[in-house]
Amino acid sequence: MSFSQEWEQLYQENQQEAIWPWSHLVSLAHHFGNLHKGMRVLELGCGAGANIPFFLQQGADYYGVDGSPTTVIALQKRFAGKSVHIEMADFTKLSVVHSGGAFDLILDRSALTCNTTEDIEHTISFIWKNLASHGRFFGLDWQSTKHDDYHQQEGAYLDAKTRVFQTGHFAGMGAMHFVDQNDLARLFRGGRFLYLTEKIEQHYMPDRHQSAAWDFVVEKAEGTDE
Amino acid sequence: MSRRRISRKMSTTGGAFDLIIDRAAVTHNSTEDIQRVITLAMNALKPGGRYIGMDWFSTRYEDYASVPSEVVDDNTRIFETGDFAGDGRTHFSDETHLRELFAGYRFLFLTEKVEEQVTPCKHRAARWDFVVEKTQEKASS
């Protein structure tokens, strides 16, 4: 598995055009981001670039990776001349981003969770290798096993925690990975959790269902490089 | 537009606004004051106009039941410690209470957001987001 081509299709069809920074990201960045001018930030799966203006405003040197040519070309054009570097790549296959040094912050808002367990583990190795000492990783909106759709009968299993759905809220999104607290602790055993919250949304209208996702901040521990 | 002019526009013109938004503002009032605001909003919205309420505190918010507070009314508290210390009046709703408050409206969206924080400390926050629409029937009554 790799970058889900379903996402390129979604960007081509203008189905994923979020342009405002995610409010939870802004809140976490202010509490745990050590924001400062010149800080080096890498976003995995930067999508339509919703979070870029926020980090530019902080004076950050921003790097983004995405597997969709459509969105990468659009972002390179939109942020030309700014301290923004967008690379088209499947971030689950990266080893090193050619950026001249380690990152203070690597973030992922609901991108890494769209991959298999194996690809996620590979990407986490990349994260440890490319984070500065005591650098931090922000994971936002990683799907939780408490999400109703995780328990759907329909949908193929790519591994014990990764599914592909033809119906429901994740239809047409390719691989979708779900975690509980133990999964997160195992995946990020090389780091120290500074923040961990499960967000459970009980929807009553227009239809009844429960969605659930995790937000977390992990600090790279001394000596962790894989 | 000044605060006084907005207030006058809401109370006298009737049906002036397509959309009224409130993000965690009205919920910092007593039940009686909230009922007054909702009536004012009803008068100020055009038929089919919508009210978006965000981050109204839920009765499942840990502080509602577990932090000592001054009771203003059944759903409203004033805290000196905890998440709401220094915030003045803080109102908490469950689904039934929200539906009672907005009885004259039609709910288009209603979600309770519960955040179970594990680290740095165990804590539960819970809030409501909702969208209600002023019905044609209500507009003509």
Local structure of residue B89 (DSSP, 8 states): E
Cβ-based neighbour number of residue A29 at 10 Å: 24
**Confidence class for position A25, pLDDT limits 50, 70, 90:** very high
By the 10 Å C-beta count (0-12 exposed, 13-18 middle, 19+ buried), B46 is classed as: middle
| Nearest chain B residue to A181, by CA | B118
Q: What is chain A's mean pLDDT, rounded?
A: 91
Q: In the prediction, which pLDDT does A219 show?
A: 97
Q: In the prediction, which pLDDT does B131 show?
A: 98
| Inter-chain residue contact B114 with A205, CB threshold 8 Å | no
For A200, which of B116, B119, B130 is closest by C-beta distance? B116
Q: In the prediction, which pLDDT does B11 show?
A: 62
Query: Residue A27 above 50 pLDDT?
Result: yes
Tokens 């790549």 appear where? Answer: A89
Nearest-Cα distance to chain B for A132, in Å, is: 22
**Confidence class for position A154, pLDDT limits 50, 70, 90:** confident
Structure-token pair, residue A75? 């972002």
pTM of structure = 0.90
Nearest-Cα distance to chain A for B9, in Å, is: 31
Q: In the prediction, which pLDDT does A60 show?
A: 97
Rounded Cα distance between A85 and A107, Å, is 15
Over residues A52-77, mean pLDDT: 95
| Inter-chain residue contact B116 with A195, CB threshold 8 Å | no
Q: In the prediction, which pLDDT does A94 show?
A: 83
Is A116:A187 a contact under the CB 8 Å cutoff?
A: no
Q: In the prediction, which pLDDT does A221 show?
A: 85
| pLDDT 10s digits, B78-122 | 999 999 999 999 999 999 999 999 998 999 999 999 999 999 999
Query: Residue A158 above 50 pLDDT?
Result: yes
Rounded Cα distance between B85 and A142, Å, is 31
Is A129:A96 a contact under the CB 8 Å cutoff?
A: yes
**A147: nearest Cα among A212, A203, A225:** A212
Q: In the prediction, which pLDDT does A96 show?
A: 72
Report the b/e string of A139-156 with b at 16+ CB within 10 A. Answer: bbbbbbbbbebbeeeebe
Query: Residue A136 above 80 pLDDT?
Result: yes
| pLDDT 10s digits, B18-64 | 999 999 999 999 999 999 999 999 999 999 999 999 999 999 999 99
Over residues A40-46, mean pLDDT: 96
Q: In the prediction, which pLDDT does A95 show?
A: 77
Q: Judge if ipTM > 0.90.
A: no
Over residues A152-174, mean pLDDT: 92
> Which residues are registered as beta bridge partners of A213?
A143, A199
Q: In the prediction, which pLDDT does A1 show?
A: 47
| Inter-chain residue contact A202 with B112, CB threshold 8 Å | yes
Using alpha carbons only, give the angle A116, A175, A42 rounded to the nearest 5 degrees. Answer: 70
